[in-house]
Amino acid sequence: MKKKILVVDDEEGLRLLYKEELEDDGNDVELASSGLEALEKLEVAPVDLVLLDIKMPGMDGVEVLRRVKEKWKNLPVILCTAYPHYKHDFGTWASDAYIVKSSDLTELKQTIKDILSRK
Ligand SMILES: [Mg+2]
């Protein structure tokens, strides 16, 4: 059965890139451009995994992660950011994986496969 991934990123180009690549891997992909939109979407329809940007205007990914884990404890969340230093922020430790953004999506795609196969 297809797995559903919610991609949360304020950059449209990245959202579309992730959507295309992850759909190529056989997933269904939903998009959200902000943390609030992501939380609203999760309320309406469950997903199997969330791919979450950290740096976003308004609610940042660390806060979104906290709220997601508060409500959906077992929903896997992958943090994806251009900034490796967030890894040392305790607010990010609740994530299931932490990926530094790169034009090469190999690591990200493999991590998603690993996490989804564990479910
Ligand atoms: Mg961003």
**CB within 5 A of ion ligand 1: which residues?**
10, 53, 55-56
pTM of the shown model: 0.94
Cα(55) to ligand 1 centroid in Å equals 4
Cα(4) to ligand 1 centroid in Å equals 21
Cα(82) to ligand 1 centroid in Å equals 8
CATH of the domain at 48: 3.40.50.2300
pLDDT tens digits along 28-39: 999 999 999 999
Q: What is the mean pLDDT of the chain?
A: 94
Name the more confident of 110 and 89.
110
Distance between CA atoms of 4 and 47, rounded to whole angstroms? Answer: 5
- The tokens describing 115, both together, are 């996490």
Number of domains forming the structure of the chain? 1
pLDDT tens digits along 105-117: 999 999 999 999 9
Cα(98) to ligand 1 centroid in Å equals 15
The domain of 87 spans 4-118
Mean pLDDT of 17-21: 97
For 34-56, letters b (16+ CB in 10 Å) and e give: bbeebbebbeeeebbbbbbbbeb
